[in-house]
Amino acid sequence: MFYREAGQFKTTYPSDMAVFPIAQDRIGLGLILAAAFILIPLFASDFILSSVMIPFLVFSLAAIGLNILTGYTGLISLGTGAFMGVGAYACYKLMTIFPGVNIIIWIISAGFFSALVGIIFGIPSLRIKGFYLAVATLAAQFFLQWCFVRIPWLYNYNASGAIEVGTRTLFGIPIVGPNATPEARYYVMLCIVVALTWIASNIVHGKIGRSWMAVRDMDIAAELMGIKLLDTKLLAFAVSSFYAGVAGACMMFLWYGGGEASDAFNINQSFLILFMVIIGGLGSLIGSFFGAAFISILPTVLKFGLPAIGIPLSGATAEHLIHILVGALIIFFLIVEPHGLARLWQIGKQKLRMWPFPY
Amino acid sequence: MDASVQTKTHNLAKGDTLLAVDNVSLSFGGVKAITDVSFDIKKGEIRAIIGPNGAGKTSMLNVINGFYHPQQGRITFKGETRQKMRPYVAASQGIARTFQNVALFKGMTTLDNIMAGRTLKMNTGFFWQLWRHGPAMREEVEHRHIVEEIIDFLEIQAIRKTPVGKLPYGLQKRVELGRALAMEPELLLLDEPMAGMNLEEKEDMSRFIIDVNTQYGTTIALIEHDISVVMDLSDRVVVLEYGRKIADGTPNQVKNDQTVIDAYLGVPH
C-alpha cells in the first residue's frame, strides 16, 4: 500500500536510469544508512560491534568482490581467500615500510596489489570455463597460501609468523591496533564498505557491468559484438580481487587486529564466501549483504540468542547444534528460492507493490 | 529516427562491392564445411544465402564475422583484403549479426541488451565509469536516446524493462535485431530471422528488414529457409549445397535454375 511507484513519473533519462528509481527505496536506503551510522554505534555493545557488525561488513565486501566475478561475469573462483590474504600482507608490508602514511591509504592500496595478482591468475579464464576454472583458481589458493607461510619477508621475519599490528591513528583517534575502540574500527569499516559498494553499483550499472553480464550470459554473442573477452574477464578479475584484497586488509587490521594470518586465508574462507554469494544471490549487490549476514551473523546469533531465550546450550553441543541449524537453514532457503535471498527480497517487494489488492 | 542512428558517412556508394568472399574453404578436421566459395555483397542490397540444411550457410556467416577462420581464401570488406576476419575487427568495422538460435543476454533487460550493442561506441574511461557521473552519465544518456529510437522503430516499448529470458520467442528475435541495429552496422548478417515464427510475426519481421534496408541503407545478408520470404525480400540470392556454391543471381534466375531445383527437390539416381 505504501510501497508503490504510482505517481512517480520520470521525465529524464538519468532519473529513469537511477539505481533506485522508486522514491520509497531511496528513503529505505537512507534509513538503513542512518541506522548503520547513528543507531548501531549508539546502542550496540562492544561485543556486537566487534563480533557481529565488523565481521559482517568484512564479509560483505569480500562477497561483493566475488559476486562481481562469479555473479556478474560468470567466472567461478575458489581463490577469494588467497586474494584476501594478498591484500592483508600487502597492507602489512606497506604499513611497515612506510609507517608515516595513513593506514587507510594502505588498506585501499593493498587492493591494487591483490588486483594485480588476480589478473595473473585470471589469465587462464579465457580458455577455461565453469568448474574447470574453479579448479584453476584453486591453484591460486594453494600457491598463495604457500607463499604466506614460506616467504618470511611477507611477515617481516617474525618468529611467530604472525602479523603484528601496532596502533595507527586517523585524526588522532586510534583506528587500528590494541588501543582502537570497536566504535572507531566500526566507523572506518562502515565508511569503506559504503564507499566501495557505491562504486561497485556504479560499475555494474554502466557500460562495464553490461559487458560483464554479456560475457556471462552469451560469450559468443558478446565477442561478435566487439566485447573483448580477455580484457573483460581480466577486468572482472582485477576489480573482484581489489575488493577481496581490501576486505582481507580490513579483516586483518580492523577485525582480527593481527595474528596468525596464513590460517585466516585458507580454502575454507574461499568456500565460505562462495556460499555467501550463492545463498545471497548471484549477480546482486544486495544479495552479497544478505549472504554475508546469513553466514557470518547467524552462527553468532544462534550461539548467544538461543541461551538468551531459555534454550540451554553449552560447549561442544552448542557448536554442533549450530552447524546443524545453519546447514538446515541453508538448504531450506535454497529450496524455497534457488536464486538466493536477493530474489526472495525482490519477490517480496513485488508482492508488497500489489498488496493489499493483488489484481 | 534521427541522423545519429544512420550509418556513418562512408566512401562506398550504393552498388559498390561492400564485401567480397574469394575462394573460401573451411574444414573442421576431415569435414569440409565450405569448399571454394566466392560471392560478393553490394552496398545497400539485401543478399540472401539459401540452401538445404548443413549446406554451410551459418558457417559462411561465421567466416564473415571472424568467428571461424577459413583455411583458404580471402575476405575483402570495405576494400581491405584479409585472410581472415577477427570478431573484434569485424564488429568495429561495422558487421553485426543475429543468431539462428537466439543468443540474447538472458539475465539482462531489453534495454540493457540493446545498450550492450552500443558498447563499441562508448568510450568513456574506466575512471569515469567508477562514479557514473559527469562524462559517463552524459554518454549513457546520449546512447539511451539512440537506443530508445531503436525501441520505437521495433515497437518494443512495452518490454523495455523486462528481462529478455521471460519474453516470447518472436519478441526475443526482435530484441536481437535491435541489439544488432544498435551497433549501427554497415553490414547486417541475419541468421534465420524468421525461424519458428508464425505468419504474422514473419510479416512483421519482413517489414523491419525492409525498413532497415531502405531507411538506414544498411546492407543485409540473410539466411532463411522460407523461400517465398527470400524471393520477396532479396535483391540477389546465393545458393549453397554441401559447402559449394551452386547458383548465384536474382531470385528469378535462381528459382528457375535446374541445379537449385535438384538440390531442393532431389534427383533420381
Residue type, B213: N
Mean pLDDT of chain A: 87
Per-residue pLDDT, averaged over A27-44, amounts to: 91
The DSSP result for A139-156, as a single string, is: HHHHHHHHHHHH-GGGGT
A210 vs B136: CA distance, rounded Å: 14
Q: Is residue A33 included in any domain, yes or no? A: no
- The string of pLDDT tens digits covering residues A301-329 is 877 777 777 777 666 777 787 788 878 88
Query: A210 vs B116: CB contact, 8 Å cut-off?
Result: yes
Does one domain contain both B188 and B90? yes
**Banded model confidence at residue A110, pLDDT cuts 50, 70, 90:** very high
Residue range A18-31: mean pLDDT, rounded: 86
SS3 A275: helix
- Residues in B closer than 8 angstroms to A14, CB to CB, are 137, 140-141
B99 in a domain, yes or no?
no
Of the three residues B129, B157, B183, the one that is the final residue of a domain is: B183
Q: Which of A199, A207, A217 sits opposite B105 (nearest CB)?
A: A217
How far apart CA A68 and CA A86 sit, in angstroms, is 18
Domain presence at residue B177:
yes
pLDDT (0 to 100) of residue A323: 80
From B183, B215, B231, the end of a domain falls on B183
Judged against a pLDDT cut of 90, whether residue A21 lies above it is answered with no
Question: Is residue A167 in some structural domain?
Answer: yes
Q: Which residues between 173 and 202 in chain A have a beta carbon less than 8 angstroms from any beta carbon of chain B?
A: 199, 202
Q: Is residue A95 part of a domain?
A: yes
User: How many beta-carbon pairs below 8 A join chains A and B?
Assistant: 97
Across the interface, do B91 and A224 touch by the CB < 8 Å criterion?
Answer: yes
Tell how far CA A21 is from the center of its chain. 25
Task: Count other C-beta atoms under 10 Å from residue A298's C-beta.
Answer: 16
pLDDT beyond 90 at A236 = yes
DSSP state of B12: P
Max avg pLDDT among A6-20, A271-285, B5-19: A271-285
Residues 15-54 of A with CB under 8 A from B: 17
How far apart, in whole angstroms, are the C-alpha atoms of residue A262 and residue B210? 65
Give the Cα separation of A306 and B223 in Å (integer): 66
Determine the pLDDT at residue A352.
82
Do the domain assignments include residue B214?
Answer: yes
Same-domain pairing of B175 and B240: no
What are the pLDDT digits (tens) for A193-228?
A: 999 999 999 999 999 999 999 999 999 999 999 999
* Domain end (from B125, B153, B183): B183
* Minimal C-alpha gap between A192 and chain B (Å): 15
Q: A172 is in which domain, residue-wise?
A: 44-266
Q: DSSP for A64-103?
A: HHHIIIIIIS----S-HHHHHHHHHHHHHHHHHHSTTS-H
Is position A85 within any domain?
yes
B100 within domain boundaries: no
Q: Which residues share a beta bridge with B27?
A: B32
CA B197, B201, B202, B208 torsion-angle sign:
negative
CA dist A66 → A73, A74, A120, A239, A288 (Å) = 10, 10, 16, 9, 9
Give SS3 for A195: helix
Judge if B123 and B252 occupy the same domain: no
- Contact check, Cβ <8 Å, A223/B67: yes
Q: Are both B179 and B223 inside the same structural domain? A: no
Q: Are residues B63 and B12 in the same domain?
A: yes
**In this model, does residue B180 exceed pLDDT 90?**
yes
pLDDT for position A358: 67
Plot region of A247 (φ>0 → left; ψ -120 to 50 → alpha; else → beta): alpha
Question: Could you tell me if B112 and B173 lie in one domain?
Answer: yes
Q: A332: which residues sit within 8 A by CB, 6+ positions away?
A: none
Look at A25 and B221; give whichever has higher pLDDT: B221
- With a threshold of 0.95, does the pTM exceed it? no
CB contact under 8 A, B65 and A214: no
User: At a CB cut-off of 8 Å and minimum separation 6, what does A310 contact?
Assistant: none
Is there a contact between A224 and B65 if contact means CB atoms under 8 Å apart?
Answer: yes
Residue A2 has pLDDT above 80, yes or no: no
Q: How many CA atoms lie within 13 A of A9 on its CB side?
A: 2
Phi and psi angles of residue B36, each rounded to the nearest 5 degrees, phi first: 50, 55
d(CA B217, CA B18): 12
- The residue that leads in pLDDT, A6 or A226, is A226
Structural domain total, chain B: 2
Euclidean distance between the first and the last CA atom of chain B, given in angstroms as a whole number: 55
pLDDT(B3) > 60 = no
Q: Is residue B155 domain-shared with residue B199, that is, in the same domain?
A: no
Contact B87 A210 (CB under 8 A): no
Contacts of A218 in chain B (CB under 8 A): 103-106
In a domain, residue A19? The reply is no
Are A225 and B96 in contact by the 8 Å Cβ rule? The answer is yes
Q: Give pLDDT tens digits for A114-144.
A: 999 999 999 988 888 888 999 989 999 999 9
pLDDT in tens, B74-100: 999 998 888 888 999 999 999 999 998
pLDDT tens-digit readout, B13-45: 887 889 999 999 999 988 899 999 999 999 999
pLDDT value for A199: 95
Q: Nearest by CB to A225, which of B116, B132, B139?
A: B116
Q: Is the dihedral of CA A94, A96, A98, A104 positive or negative?
A: positive
Same domain, B197 and B125: no
Contact state of A206 with B67 under an 8 Å Cβ cutoff? no
CB contact, 8 Å: A216 with chain B?
A: yes
One domain for residues B168 and B244: no
Residue-wise pLDDT tens digits, B108-123: 999 999 999 999 988 8
Q: Is residue A293 part of a domain?
A: no
Asked whether residue B158 falls in the same domain as residue B30, the answer is no
For residue B2, pLDDT beyond 60:
no
What is the pLDDT, as a whole number, of residue A337?
A: 81
The answer to whether position A133 is within a domain reads yes
Write out chain B residues lying below 8 Å of A220, CB-based. 67, 103
Q: What is the mean pLDDT of residues A249-270?
A: 84
Whether residue A1 has pLDDT greater than 60: no
- One domain, residues B87 and B214: yes
A273 within domain boundaries: no
Whether A208 contacts chain B with CB within 8 A: yes
Residues of A in contact with B119 (CB under 8 A): 207, 210-211, 214, 225-227
Planar angle of CA B244, B250, B255, nearest 5 degrees: 70
Percent over 90 (pLDDT), chain A? 44
Domain that holds residue B122: 105-183
CATH number of the domain at B190, please.
Answer: 3.40.50.300
**A126/B contact by beta carbon, under 8 A:** no
My answer on whether B78 and B122 are in the same domain is no
Mean pLDDT within A7-30: 84
Cβ(B248)–Cβ(B41) below 8 Å: no
Q: Is residue B87 part of a domain?
A: yes
Q: Which of B92, B129, B179 has the CB atom closest to A207's CB atom? A: B129
Give me the pLDDT at residue B11, please: 66
In chain A, the number of structural domains is 1
* pLDDT: which is higher, A257 or B60: B60
Q: What is the ipTM of this complex?
A: 0.90
Percent of chain A surpassing pLDDT 70: 97
pLDDT band for A109, please (50, 70, 90 cuts): very high
Dihedral angle over CA of A153, A156, A158, A161, nearest 10? -60
Instruction: Measure B149 CA to nearest chain A CA, in Å.
Output: 13
CB–CB of A23/A8 below 8 Å?
A: yes
- Establish if A13 touches chain B: CB-CB under 8 angstroms: yes
| Residue contact A214–B108, C-beta within 8 A | yes
